[in-house]
Structure 1
Amino acid sequence: MRALAFLLLLGTPALAGDASGFDPAAIDQCLDAAETQGARADCAGTGMDACLDYARQKYTGDDPDFPMANCLDASHQAWEAKLTAVYQAALEAADPPEPLRRMERSWIAFREALCEGAGDLARARCIRDETARQVALLMSLADLR
């Protein structure tokens, strides 16, 4: 049923992102706006409202959690891509890079333990939120932007 629901979401997305309706550019816009103001905002949930509006319009199935699950997955994937890019830039700036590698491995274990045991949606939200926080932390530590 979920596969069919996903296929129903395919088509022309409402935003510049993927077929989920999530726009990954919203992440950069939030981070840029926060930096302009001299602070790091909590950008974890950015883009979710537009994604949920889009998903609820497109999805006609009987699973009430599908739009949220779809948008959390799309948001998490966008944050993971951002984390990978920021981590690579931080590694290049680190001298030596090994402490950063150890920190990142420890953080992954921390994130998994923190989010373990939650229900599907709560776990997805937890992982997404912790990934967003790690992006902000790495950006601050490496003075990236």
Structure 2
Amino acid sequence: MKPLAAAGLVALLAIPVHAGDASGFDPAAIDQCLEGAVTQGARADCADAGMEACLTYTRGKYTGDDPDFPMANCLDASHQAWEAQLTTLYEAALAAGGTPEGLREMERSWIAFRKALCASAGVGKEGGDLAHARCLRNETARQAALLMELGPQE
């Protein structure tokens, strides 16, 4: 397999995942981080892209008494944006040809792996829900980065 062409990937990343929402998370931060990684020719760790701005926004708007709410809000919004990014990349890989059934099998296996891995994240620990949410977001971001490196088989 060969990596997706940088020019094609940059064009793919120019399409917004979805517009920002009431969470304060801007999915464009993910696009910018990934585009920078493609431009530099290296895989960047973009899982946290957009989190600081989201946390700043949420902390300024939230008036409740749950200290974990801002982080939970931003992790959820970030995870949703990464899921949309992963879906876009997955559909592009399927459209590029190669072995679609192999790609589908890989994704099904990965989903089972992520579910098992994240189910135990933070179990019995304070902040366990945040650990679970962070695990889901991080693993989805990692899978998107890996999927970006896949291309059609020659």
Q: TM tier, shorter chain?
A: 0.7 to 0.9
| 1:94 Cα deviation from its structure 2 partner | 3.0
1:93 positional shift = 1.4
- Structure 2 gaps, min length 5: 1-18, 122-127
The counterpart of 2:118, out of the listed 105, 115, 120, is 115
Q: Give me the CA root mean square deviation.
A: 1.1
| 1:42-57 matched pairs, under 5 angstroms | 42-57=45-60
Among 74, 79, 82, the residue aligned to 2:77: 74
3-state SS in 2 of match to 1:64? coil
Tell me, in whole angstroms, the C-alpha distance in 2 between the residues paired with 1:70 and 1:78: 12
1:94 paired with 2:97, answer yes
| Unmatched 5+ stretches in structure 1 | 1-15
Shift of residue 36, structure 1, vs aligned partner: 0.9
Structure 1 segments of 4 or more deviating over 4 A?
A: none
Scaled by the length of structure 1, the TM-score of the pair is 0.85
Structure number with higher relative contact order (C-alpha < 8 Å, ≥ 6 residues apart): 2
Counterpart-to-counterpart distance in 2, 1:112 and 1:94: 28
When normalised by structure 2's length, the TM-score is 0.80
- Aligned counterpart for 2:145 among listed residues 132, 136, 141: 136
**What is the distance in 2 between the residues matched to 1:36 and 1:100?**
26
Letter in 2 for 1:120: D
